[in-house]
Amino acid sequence: MRKVAGYLVGATAFLAAATGTVSYSETAAVRVSVPTQREVAQTTILGSPSSVDLPTTTLTVQVTDSKTGIASPAAIPTFAAGAIVFTGYSACTQQCGGGEFMIPTGTTVATLAGIGYVTLAEADFPMPGTSKPIPIRAKVAGPTGNTGAGTVVFMPSNHSMGVTNPKPITGGAIRHTQVISAADMETLTGALAGDLLTRGAAELKSRAGGMGYALTALPDIAPSADHRVGDEVATFTVTITVTMNAIAFSDTRVRTMIVSALQSRLPPSLVLSPASVHTSYYVEGIKPDGSVVIAGTGVGFVMPSISVQTMRERLARLTTGEARDELTRLAPGSTVYIRTTPANMPWLPVLPSRITLTVEPLA
C-alpha cells in the first residue's frame, strides 16, 4: 500500500507540473528587437480665436527704458579774426573816375606768408582815401590764422589797392570739448534697443505661459534723445520704447496634431516606435485678427505592431525555438533574445503572466 501511495503522489506532481498549476517559479524574459523604417509627414494646421482644434490669443508687450551715454572728446578749432583797412591810391582816380569805391564782402586778403582771410562786410570809401575798419576772418580755423599787426598786406585781386591790419589778428585756437558723434548715438541706441528686445521677448514668453507664439510683425522700436548728433555736451540720454505684438497658441496641441498626422499615414500593421518621433513647425502665415497658418513636419520610425498581451498568450507552453520562430515570422528581420528561469529550461511558462515581453526598435 505504501508503494502504491508513492506512485500516486509522483503522478499527481507530474500532472500538476504539466498543467502549470504549481509551476509558479518558472519565468521567461523575452526581448524582441524589430526593424524600423523612417516615415515623414507634413501637415498644415489652421488656428484662430474661434478655432476648436487650435484656438489662438493675441498678446501685446511694451517695454521702455532710458540710458545715458558719454559724448566723444573733440578738438574744435576756432577762427582767428580782426580788422583791416583798405587804401585807394590816387592813380585809381583817373581809372575809376573819382567818387566812391566798393570792395565786396568775401574779398580775399593775405599775409606774405600765404595766410588767407576773407572780408565779412563791404568796404565803401572815396578815391583816393582809406576805408573804415572792415572785419575779417581767417580762411582756415586754428592758431595758424593768428598774425601780428601790419602783416596783412596782400590783396591778390587788385594791385591798385593797399591793405593792412592795424592791430593783430587773434582768436585762432584749438578748443578741447565733448561732442556727440553719430557713433556715440548709434552705439547707445543699439545697446539699449538690444536690451529691450531681450526683455520684451522674455516678457512675451512669460505672458504666453508655456504656449507657442509668433510675432505679427517686426518689433516696433521708437527711440528719442535729449540731444542730437553734433551737440556739444558731456552726456546725453536716449529713451526707447519697444512694442511687440504676437499671437499665442498651444505648442503641445500643435505637436500632438503633427504626430496624429504622422500616425494617420500608417496601416494598422505598423506603429510609431516609442520616443522616435521628432516634430517641428513654423508659422507660415499670420493675420492681425489672430489667425495663423502653421506648417508642421513629423519624422518618426515605424515598426510592426505587436500586441504584448496576445503574443504572451501565444508564446505560453512553446519551446524557446518555437517561440523564436513565431516572433521572427510575425516581424521578419527581428532579433529575439529569450532567457528562462530556471536556467536552460527548454520551454516557456504555461502561465502567460509569467512571461515578460519587451518589444523595441532594432538599433
Give the pLDDT confidence of 131-147 residue by residue, as tens digits: 999 999 999 999 999 99
Give yes or no for residue 111 having a pLDDT over 70.
yes
267 to 69, 89, 303: CA distances (angstroms): 66, 115, 11
Peptide bond into 73 cis (omega under 30): no
Q: Give the torsion through C-alpha atoms of 218, 219, 220, 224, to 10 deg.
A: -130
Give yes or no for residue 22 having a pLDDT over 90.
no
Per-state percent for the chain, helix, strand, coil, to nearest 5 = 25, 45, 35
Q: What's the average model confidence in pLDDT over 278-307?
A: 91
59-94: per-residue pLDDT in tens? 999 999 999 999 999 999 999 999 999 988 765 544
Cell of 329: 515570422
Mean pLDDT of the chain: 88
**Which H or E element spans position 329?**
helix 320-330
3-state secondary structure of 189: helix
How high is the pLDDT of residue 156?
66
In whole angstroms, give the CA distance from residue 231 to residue 10: 112
pTM of this structure:
0.60
Give yes or no for residue 11 having a pLDDT over 90.
no
Q: What's the average model confidence in pLDDT over 31-57?
A: 93
How high is the pLDDT of residue 2?
40
How high is the pLDDT of residue 102?
86
How high is the pLDDT of residue 43?
96
How high is the pLDDT of residue 89?
75
Give yes or no for residue 13 having a pLDDT over 60.
no
Q: Taking the CA atoms of 32, 38, 39 and 40 in sequence, report the sign of the dihedral they define.
A: positive
How high is the pLDDT of residue 361?
87
In whole angstroms, give the CA distance from residue 52 to residue 252: 15
151-204: per-residue pLDDT in tens? 999 886 666 788 999 999 999 999 999 999 999 999 999 999 999 999 999 999
Give yes or no for residue 9 having a pLDDT over 50.
no
Q: How many CB atoms lie within 10 A of CB 73?
A: 10
Share of the chain above pLDDT 70, in %: 90
How high is the pLDDT of residue 274?
74
Q: With beta carbons less than 8 A apart as the criterion, state whether 136 and 103 touch.
A: no
Give yes or no for residue 359 having a pLDDT over 50.
yes
How high is the pLDDT of residue 90?
63
Cell of 289: 485678427
Cell of 247: 499671437
Angle 320-330/308-315 helices, nearest 10 degrees? 140
CA–CA–CA angle 304, 307, 312 (5° rounding): 120
Q: Which stretches of 48-202 are assigned E, i.e. beta strand?
A: 57-70, 72-78, 81-88, 100-103, 108-111, 116-119, 123-126, 129-130, 134-138, 152-154, 161-164, 173-179
How high is the pLDDT of residue 270?
87
Give yes or no for residue 29 having a pLDDT over 50.
yes
How high is the pLDDT of residue 129?
86
Q: With beta carbons less than 8 A apart as the criterion, state whether 270 and 292 touch.
A: no
Instruction: Tell me the residue type at 125.
Output: F
Alpha helix stretches (DSSP H) within 62-218: 91-96, 182-208
3-state secondary structure of 265: coil
Peptide bond into 223 cis (omega under 30): no
Instruction: Tell me the residue type at 183.
Output: A
Report the chain's terminal Cα–Cα distance, integer Å: 63
